[in-house]
Structure 1
């Protein structure tokens, strides 16, 4: 009866969700949350980057634009290239920051503050500074640093230019006027410049420019000299040492028959074990399933080395009663909704009809197995 039960639960949830969609208007995003995102404040460099990125998206949007007059060639000749025209600049500025979801208010405020700088770059400095971010955020407003530089004076990060933190970490404050330039090492690396392997890792490759640290085997407690359990300097809990052979898993499940309390059985894992619940037909078991029972649970008996329910017919009656009560409750709900909204009641009534039809169809097909089980219990007629 597992399949029909799962189907009934699923269809119940589907009907409840449908009622919710009909009776309640759900908002995609609460106005308070949207306003909070708009008013979010970022550090100076990040805010400037958001602004210049928005400007770059405007450049992309208008990259295929042209003058709106009838004679484009004449306009290009008389008014100059559209690509660097004031008209294109105005089009970009009118939509600046509109696509920004987090920090839109700050972006718009910064756009107003730096409007003159943006126009200065547009008309005079595009050739010298092809990237507007470098001109606005680094050169003129000094809110950011070049990549892999940090701090008020834009100091180069450790290992600059080609071995930043030994290529195994990130420089704190890189690209901003903040940070101390220290290295935040990737997992498995340690040291001021991330030039060493952390405990639990070993040096798997090294040359003049590259250090590669790989994790020790799970059998190791701390350091190791290689990838396998035989390379451990010390074995972790759940493993034992064999002289000259390395670390081997301890099978905790063979230590005691009572290692797993209650109606559970033991499964050995590398370095550990886990306890899983026996089948509900069992009172003690050696594995999963009703055929692995040591004894049968109350209300069950053994047949062909398998514990089965001794009262399938009684259980069937209870399930039928619960099912019919569910149908009755859905009908009552439709009647209540009908008084308020006939269209909602019609839709929900259709869903209930589908629900009952599918449920009964699946139950009817599962009855073949139930009938077979009942015949096994009752014996041949």
Structure 2
């Protein structure tokens, strides 16, 4: 099959799904030859001259050495992010989502398309308009490569929708924007629930996180507020505006009074947040992202002001010990060994944003030093790309969650 044939099949699939969702205005944005001027995708650039794969702006990819090293270490030739630390050489949908986001930040359209195509073909049954991606793919015991767990992961899905929306805007590709709108809408339809006391709330996945009629298991690291708000603003008909209040509550109310974010939290109707019996209040590899997302919020945003005093326990710990803990009991503040390079990188934006610039620089230096001694694997590298990339001003998030990249202004003048 030629690339043109593949593109035509993809557009037909998008059209069918858009029609099924009642998204008439988006159809003209995806289908070439229709009146795009009369039917604009919400949030898409008004460019009636382009259709299908628009020509990207004449601007080369950003020189971002850390992103280049990550691609060499973790990106396969066919477009999947490989976790080499696991025996099944797995790929998780979260890794694909982050790679899409980094590709947008780096103005790396070729990598974006490669990662997107692999994600669609291997995690979404060939059609992201009809299926949310499975969260886990890898090598089976018999040596075959396949989906290992078909349950989607909502944090990955929302970053995919975000990356598609921002790619559509920055690269002027309406197909990306329309696809992002569909993914955003499907997340609300399949991965949320109305929880008494919280409202419409993002669940970690469609299945497995509502163990009793009055009980839900939630993950505060799954709701970066800049992404929640951007999806609500970029796709106003998707239902994401309903998730803003509940997402902020997940972050602020699930954290015990000592100021550490937990891995997981239980929410019981009529009683509120409780300690998760499986992780027993521990904060570790999931929770480290809560501080990362909070630190990268725009300082003039309501969300940043709401979260500024939420994580005092972690900030004090880093100041006292010179590094964030790999594992901490959020109930009493007792901690085990220091976290690695990615953990330090993840704390840099929050330390910088609250004004502790010296400690932010120290954590950035620690992250680079540790990584030079022993390069991080997939997850540590992701944390560093976010944390240190933000520290190097390679990107910012506006108060409404819009992705701000320096290359946008440069390319716009060419």
TM-score range, shorter chain: under 0.3
Q: Which has the larger radius of gyration?
A: 1
Considering Cα pairs closer than 8 Å and 6+ residues apart, tell me whether 1 or 2 has the greater RCO.
2
| Structure with greater strand percent | 1
Normalised TM-score (structure 1): 0.21
